[in-house]
Amino acid sequence: MSRYFTEDHEWIEVDGDVATVGITNYAQEQLGDIVFVELPEEGKSFDKGGDAAVVESVKAASDVYSPVSGEVIEVNGALEGEPALVNSDAEEEGWFFKLRLSDASELETLMNESAYEKFVASL
Amino acid sequence: MSGPQDPNFVEDDAVEELPLQELPLDGWHRAKGARMVGFAGYHMPIQYEGIMAEHLWTRDHAGLFDVSHMGQLSLTGEGLDAALEAIIPASIASLGVGRQRYSMLLDEEGGILDDLMVSRRPDDIYMVVNGATKYDDIAWLLDQFPDEITINLMDEAALLALQGPEAAMALARIVPGVDRLFFMQCAAFTWNGHPLWVSRSGYTGEDGYEISLPAEAAAAFADALCAMDEVKPIGLGARDSLRLEAGLPLYGHDLTPDISVIGADLGFAILKRRREEGGFIGYARVAKELAEGAPVRRVGLTIEGRLPAREGAEIFVGKTRVGTITSGGFAPSLGAPIAMGWVDAAHAAIGTALEIEVRGKRIAATVAPMPFVPHHYHRQKS
């Protein structure tokens, strides 16, 4: 399994042709207390960079983009009852949705963990 | 992920193109770990440890807010009471020394130019206006006032607010006597040789104080308060969620020139003599709407589910658009989203079922009494 990151602070972990997507720990820190996550419908398809989810903090709403193209095969239902999971465990239990990849070559455009760490340090 | 789309903290409140100014406590906030944002032309702390925790802390203990961006005005001059009554709808003639009232500046059509606090001190009238509007307010006042009246913008003074059930105990420990003030009373005190002007008021719905003091004393004073177990610094984010729960309107959002005093449900701020005699700018609209009601009204809304409705969201009854959300968010003390909005009078009664459109979906809302969370002011028993 390998994990990639976007400049918009999503992470994506790939296992075969299925990938799990969430927002990074840096992103949840920037947002503050998360009170609602609007998840996509299963079966929906996204292009790379498409609006996939919305995360609402106490103060504001932010769009979450799909890091790559694919079809949603599962969403994290636990976030419905406990959106604060994104604050407490953004990069594991606080995942948003799983995608079936339609073009694995798109992963090459993303950052690996050390590149993302450098990117965040530069902000 | 996109940057947070927060209507309160983007360019509409920043002074266009001008570099942001620094508050007297700028370095103090940063040293306390604040995240700073641009608001009303200043770098301001939006949060320290987190909005939710800061909000709940203020409801249970005491929160220290820096509101030095607000405009503190000292008004003096011959005939000031009459000159001020010709502009604002508050009763100034009956305002005693050490008493404070809530009022507003109205335009000729009765639209709201700003909301404000006005109090009488021994040697002047002291007014606190909103930060984003202070220069416009001064220009407006100068246009209206006769030459005898002088306006001094007290930009050498900081303004701090200490709010919450433990505020009185905490502040009285270093400023003895402040606990004897009741809600909307004010008086001069000293701390370490520095003059303070303290009013028992605020904008969270809790008991508490607003303290005007020389800018150079502000950091030491804030340190003295935050050294106490009851007190933590609180950012703008929690200030906004606290005032929303308290049903208090925010200028530039819930109040603008497009809504009237009666429409905004601020008629309480106009006492009997002024309602009957008028004699202030915008009175014709007030008199008409006192008699007939206002066509659009500011209401509170409770929202079903957990999805917050934000400023700008449209309000519907069936296919008919009946209003707009003017501020909305998640209420930490209630664990649910709440909002304020402007709604056509026919749909503004408490209990009316409405729908709000959020990202193409309709969510159910109900017109609710405000405040959403009861006020805990320290009122004088009459």
Within an 8 Å CB–CB cutoff, is residue B336 touching chain A? no
Chain B positions in Cβ-Cβ contact with residue A63 (cut-off 8 Å): 1-2
Identify which of B1, B55, B307 has the shortest CB distance to residue A65: B1
C-alpha dihedral sign at A71, A73, A77, A78: negative
Q: What is the pLDDT of residues A51-90, one digit of tens each?
A: 999 999 988 899 999 999 999 999 999 999 999 999 999 9
Residue of B nearest to A8 (CA): B1
Predicted ipTM of the assembly: 0.83
CATH code for the part of the protein at B71-153: 3.30.70.1400
For each of chain B's 382 residues, which pLDDT tens digit applies? 787 665 455 433 444 557 899 999 999 999 999 999 999 999 999 999 999 999 999 999 999 999 999 999 999 999 999 999 999 999 999 999 999 999 999 999 999 999 999 999 999 999 999 999 999 999 999 999 999 999 999 999 999 999 999 999 999 999 999 999 999 999 999 999 999 999 999 999 999 999 999 999 999 999 999 999 999 999 999 999 999 999 999 999 999 999 999 999 999 999 999 999 999 999 999 999 999 999 999 999 999 999 999 999 999 999 999 999 999 999 999 999 999 999 999 999 999 999 999 999 999 999 999 999 999 999 988 6
Chain A CB contacts of B313 below 8 Å: none
What residues of chain B lie within 8 A of the CB of A64, using their CB?
A: 1
**pLDDT tens string B229-238:** 999 999 999 9
With contacts defined as CB-CB under 8 Å, which chain A residues touch B52?
32-33, 58
Closest CA to B144 of B284, B281, B286: B281
Whole-number pLDDT of residue B382? 64
Nearest CA distance, B226 vs chain A (angstrom): 23
> Pick from A33, A91, A83: which is nearest to A58 by CA?
A33
Query: In B, residues 344-373, which contact A (CB 8 Å cutoff)?
Result: 359
**Which of A8, A23, A36 is opposite residue B308, by nearest beta carbon?**
A36
Query: Same CATH topology for B12-67+157-245 and B295-368?
Result: no
| Separation CA A108–CA B257 (nearest Å) | 53
- Residue-wise pLDDT tens digits, A87-119: 999 999 999 999 999 999 999 999 999 999 999
**Residue of B2, B237, B330 with shortest CB distance to A35:** B330
3-state secondary structure of A102: coil
Instruction: Enumerate the domain spans of chain B.
Output: 12-67+157-245, 71-153, 295-368
Among chain A residues, CA nearest to B36: A30
Where do the domains of chain A lie, and which CATH numbers do they carry? 2-102 (2.40.50.100)
pLDDT at position B3: 72
| Average of per-residue pLDDT values in chain B | 95
Contact B1 A32 (CB under 8 A): no
On whether any CB of chain A is under 8 Å from the CB of B307, the answer is yes
Q: Do A60 and B4 touch (CB under 8 A)?
A: yes
Please list every residue in chain B whose beta carbon sits closer than 8 Å to the beta carbon of residue A5. Answer: none
- Chain A residue numbers with beta carbons less than 8 Å from the beta carbon of B310 are 60-61
Give the domain B12-67+157-245 fold.
Gyrase A; domain 2 (3.30.1360)
Residue A114 distance to chain B (closest CA, Å):
19
Decide: helix, strand or coil at residue A90. coil
Among chain A residues, CA nearest to B330? A58
Q: What single DSSP character describes residue A68?
A: S
For residue B53, what is the nearest residue in chain A, using CA coordinates?
Answer: A33
3-state secondary structure at position A13? strand
CB distance A58–B329 less than 8 Å?
yes
* Paired tokens of B111: 């639209």
3-state secondary structure chain B: CCCCECHHHCCCCCCCCCCCEECCCHHHHHHCCCEEEEECCEEEEEECCCHHHHHHHHHHCEEEEECCCCEEEEEECCCHHHHHHCCCCCCCCCCCECEEEEEEEECCCCEEEEEEEEEECCCCEEEEECHHHHHHHHHHHHHHCCCCCEEEECCCEEEEEEECCCHHHHHHHHCCCHHHCCCCEEEEEEECCEEEEEECCCCCCCCEEEEEEEHHHHHHHHHHHHCCCCEEECCHHHHHHHHHHCCCCCECCCECCCCECCCCCCHHHCCHHHHHHCCCCCHHHHHHHHHHCCCEEEEEEEECCCCCCCCCCEEEECCEEEEEEEEEEEECCCCEEEEEEEEEHHHCCCCCEEEEEECCEEEEEEEECCCCCCCCCCCCCC
Check if B9 contacts A (Cβ < 8 Å).
yes
Residue A31 has its nearest CB partner, among B4, B9, B240, at B4
- Using the beta-carbon criterion (under 8 Å), do A35 and B337 form an inter-chain contact? yes
What is the Cα–Cα distance from B290 to B154, expressed in whole angstroms?
Answer: 36
Res B17: pLDDT: 58
Q: What is the pLDDT of residue B135?
A: 97
Eight-state DSSP code of residue A123: -
Cβ distance B310 to A61 less than 8 Å, yes or no, reads: yes
Pairwise CA distance, residues A43 & A72, whole Å: 5
CATH number of B295-368: 2.40.30.110
| Cβ pairs A/B, distance under 8 A | 75
Distance from the Cα of residue B24 to its chain's centroid = 20
In the three-class reduction of DSSP (H, G, I as helix; E, B as strand; rest coil), residue A117 is classed as helix
Tell me if chain A has a CB within 8 Å of the CB of B312.
no
Residues of A in contact with B329 (CB under 8 A): 58-59
Residue A59 with chain B: CB contacts under 8 Å: 4, 6, 8-9, 46, 51, 237, 240-241, 329
The pLDDT value given to residue A122: 94
Task: List, in sequence order, every residue forming a beta bridge with B340; answer none if it has no partner.
Answer: B300, B327
A34-38 and B150-153 beta bridge pairing: unpaired
B2 touches chain A (CB under 8 A): yes
pLDDT at position B6, please?
55
